[in-house]
């Protein structure tokens, strides 16, 4: 299961919106972005609960935007001139990715040439389309998209909006050997079927004179601004690092957590006080009370103190909170520490150290349980007490799977731990998404079988399929234990028992009957082969 975060999972937050918010917080002069402000805005507008760390990691992992794209965005936000974004985009990207970088203005001849030379683009077209194809029906002349390209037998249409980026659509066109489009009414949809009102038409896409280099103003940091940034790091003995995030559109370099950790506790407190956060070593423990994460504590400081930090100085506030929490309140595990333990667990798993990963994750689970309340009846409810790079919704399922792997690979004691964990989960969060509950209960029954406690495993599967008679995996995992997933000597080889369970599944209205039919076919083949060998 891939790692995710609250920002990734929200359907209405696109990478373009994140980039736009970053550039807006940088301002017209191109200063440092405020991830603290962006975090607050996302929480206020979308109810997204994330940390500054999580937001930055989302940008690092998912928001791929070259400098050209950032400059285009700034040009749109501040009515500046930028030419030419298309020429700076690698031809390694697909046509669909390429059109995402088209400027919100008519294309220049050089840009048209760049697009035309793309190895996957066969032709480019702009309005008025009758200039290109006289065969276009008159009824559609004013309704075709403003810009589109041919790539193979696909047409990618590109719509421009005032104040927005773009929207594209894709459909198949019929072509003859000469690549002349034979327009058919069903293949060309009118714009009201594809886009909202307000589409901005361009009649001169291919007839725009080139801008002279001196007329182009590409946003950039001044040498004075860069010097000020370098002085900040030098004065504080903190060196910028690309390990946290490296984005050309951000300008400058962000702080490194390792560099902040190099500062003494006294230096951290002194610098915080210099930014207006009136705390001391003695009062910090009181400050922590009522908060789960250092990021939340830092947000609180912004609300109650007159914080003067700007730009990447803002990052110092929450980074210092993380480090001071670790040093001054070691018994209270913060969300940042739990998040790091989670990620370390994934790294261990990826290295094949499943047992070590599970031990670390069970430690995380122990701390998380202290935060859960009776009002939290689903794992989604529990997200309110933890925000990290991984959602609890996904991580909890990964824990179940890796506990099973650890039990089979190394130590049967992990089957016991898996049983305990899954039962706790179902008891704590009975209103979690049904499939997760089904998988957790199925995992309990499987582990009972793997421990040789066949009767208890039978009872577990029986209760599961009785409550969820359409749950196909309850039957398949049950039947599998008798012929292809026997992990204990106490489990007899019994083709007949397995077939009986599979047939029982087919007698019910299960959701994926083909899964069971394939099992039956494979079972019969193996049984025949075994009989032949014995004969």
At 287-336, the pLDDT tens digits run 898 899 998 899 899 889 998 887 777 888 989 999 999 999 998 999 99
Report yes or no on 212 lying in a domain.
Answer: no
Read off the pLDDT of residues 185-228 as tens digits, 9 standing for 90 and up.
223 333 233 222 222 222 222 222 233 333 333 333 334 433 44
d(CA 174, CA 184): 8
How many Cβ atoms sit within 10 Å of the Cβ of residue 377? 14
Read off the pLDDT of residues 469-510 as tens digits, 9 standing for 90 and up.
999 999 999 999 998 876 677 788 899 999 999 999 999 888
Q: Which of 285, 309, 332 is the last residue of a domain?
A: 332
Task: Judge if 311 and 351 occupy the same domain.
Answer: no
Host domain of residue 277: 254-332
Structure tokens at 285: 């423990």
Asked whether 419 and 450 are in contact (CB, 8 A), the reply is no
Task: Judge if 389 and 324 occupy the same domain.
Answer: no
> What whole-number percentage of the chain has pLDDT above 70?
59
Question: Interior CA angle at 448 toward 446 and 450, to 5°?
Answer: 70
Exposure of 511 by Cβ count < 10 A (0-12 exposed, 13-18 middle, 19+ buried)?
exposed
Task: Judge if 279 and 404 occupy the same domain.
Answer: no
Task: Judge if 368 and 263 occupy the same domain.
Answer: no
Report yes or no on 2 lying in a domain.
Answer: no
Task: Judge if 270 and 158 occupy the same domain.
Answer: no
Q: What is the DSSP string of 98-113?
A: HHTT--SSPPBHHHHH
Report yes or no on 56 lying in a domain.
Answer: no
Task: Judge if 137 and 272 occupy the same domain.
Answer: no
d(CA 311, CA 60): 18
Task: Judge if 492 and 393 occupy the same domain.
Answer: yes
In the sheet with 154-160, reading across from the earlier edge strand, the strands are 123-126, 147-151, 154-160, 166-172
CATH number assigned to the domain comprising residue 385: 1.25.40.10
Task: Judge if 375 and 285 occupy the same domain.
Answer: no
Report yes or no on 275 lying in a domain.
Answer: yes
Task: Judge if 359 and 478 occupy the same domain.
Answer: yes
Report yes or no on 259 lying in a domain.
Answer: yes
Read off the pLDDT of residues 32-46 as tens digits, 9 standing for 90 and up.
567 777 887 888 888
- Whether the predicted model's global pTM rises above the 0.75 cut: no
d(CA 118, CA 139): 32
Read off the pLDDT of residues 130-156 as tens digits, 9 standing for 90 and up.
333 333 344 433 333 344 455 554 545
168 has a pLDDT exceeding 50: no
d(CA 490, CA 233): 65
pLDDT at 309: 84
Task: Judge if 416 and 506 occupy the same domain.
Answer: yes
Q: Comparing 533 with 380, which gets the higher pLDDT?
A: 380
d(CA 335, CA 348): 20
Structure tokens at 422: 């899954």
Structure tokens at 161: 């909006």
Q: Which of 332, 365, 390 is the last residue of a domain?
A: 332
357 has a pLDDT exceeding 80: yes
Report yes or no on 196 lying in a domain.
Answer: yes
d(CA 27, CA 24): 5
pLDDT at 487: 66
Count up the domains in the chain and report the number: 3
Task: Judge if 285 and 394 occupy the same domain.
Answer: no
d(CA 179, CA 163): 35
Task: Judge if 425 and 365 occupy the same domain.
Answer: yes
Read off the pLDDT of residues 510-524 as tens digits, 9 standing for 90 and up.
888 998 999 999 999
Structure tokens at 246: 């490296």
Give the 3-state DSSP-derived string for 295-342, with helices as H, strands as E and coil as C. Answer: HHHHHHHHHHCCCCCCCCHHHHHHHHHHHHHHHHCCCCCCHHHHHHHH
pLDDT at 181: 32
Q: Which of 315, 332, 349 is the last residue of a domain?
A: 332
pLDDT at 420: 97
């Amino acid at each position: 299961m891939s790692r995710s975060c609250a920002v990734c999972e929200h359907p209405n937050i696109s990478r373009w919106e994140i980039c736009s918010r970053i550039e807006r917080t940088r301002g017209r002069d191109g200063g440092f972005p405020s991830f603290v402000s962006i975090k607050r805005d996302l929480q206020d507008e979308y109810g997204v609960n994330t940390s500054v760390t999580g937001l930055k990691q989302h940008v690092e992992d998912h928001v791929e935007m070259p400098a050209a794209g950032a400059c285009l965005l700034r040009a749109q936000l501040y009515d500046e001139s930028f030419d030419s974004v298309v020429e700076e985009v690698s031809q390694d990207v697909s046509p669909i990715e390429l059109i995402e970088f088209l400027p919100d203005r008519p294309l220049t001849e050089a840009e048209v040439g760049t697009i035309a030379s793309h190895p996957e683009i066969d032709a480019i077209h702009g309005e008025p389309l009758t200039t290109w194809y006289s065969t276009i029906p008159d009824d559609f002349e004013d309704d075709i998209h403003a810009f589109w390209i041919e790539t193979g037998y696909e047409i990618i249409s590109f719509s421009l909006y005032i104040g927005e980026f773009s929207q594209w659509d894709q459909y198949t066109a019929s072509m003859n050997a000469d690549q002349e489009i034979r327009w058919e009414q069903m293949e060309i949809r009118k714009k009201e079927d594809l886009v909202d009102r307000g589409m901005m038409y361009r009649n001169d896409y291919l007839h725009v004179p080139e801008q002279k280099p001196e007329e182009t103003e590409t946003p950039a940091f001044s040498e004075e601004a860069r010097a000020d940034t370098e002085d900040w790091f030098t004065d504080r003995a903190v060196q910028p690092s690309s390990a946290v995030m490296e984005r050309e559109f951000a300008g400058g370099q962000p702080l490194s957590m390792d560099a902040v950790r190099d500062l003494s506790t006294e230096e951290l407190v002194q610098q915080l006080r210099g930014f207006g956060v009136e705390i001391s070593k003695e009062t910090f423990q009181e400050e922590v009370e009522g908060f789960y994460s250092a990021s939340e504590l830092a947000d609180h400081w912004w609300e109650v103190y007159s914080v003067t930090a700007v730009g990447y100085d803002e990052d110092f506030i929450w980074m210092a909170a993380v480090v001071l929490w670790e040093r001054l309140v070691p018994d209270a595990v913060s969300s940042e520490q739990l998040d790091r333990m989670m990620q370390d667990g994934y790294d261990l798993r990826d290295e094949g150290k499943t047992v070590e990963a599970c031990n670390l994750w069970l430690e995380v689970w122990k701390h998380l349980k202290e935060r859960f309340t009776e009002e939290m009846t689903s794992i989604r409810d529990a997200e309110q007490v933890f925000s990290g790079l991984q959602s609890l919704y996904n991580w909890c399922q990964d824990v179940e799977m890796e506990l099973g792997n650890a039990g089979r690979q190394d130590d049967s004691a992990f089957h016991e731990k898996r049983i305990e964990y899954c039962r706790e989960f179902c008891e704590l969060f009975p209103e979690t998404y049904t499939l997760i509950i089904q998988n957790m209960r199925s995992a309990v029954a499987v582990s009972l079988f793997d421990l040789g406690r066949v009767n208890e495993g039978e009872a577990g599967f029986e209760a599961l399929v009785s409550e969820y008679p359409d749950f196909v995996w309850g039957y398949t995992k049950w039947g599998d234990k008798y012929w292809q997933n026997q992990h204990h000597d106490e489990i007899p080889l019994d083709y007949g028992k397995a077939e009986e369970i599979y047939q029982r599944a087919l007698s019910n209205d299960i959701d994926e009957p083909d899964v069971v039919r394939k099992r039956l076919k494979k079972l019969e083949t193996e049984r025949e082969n075994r009989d032949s060998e014995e004969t």
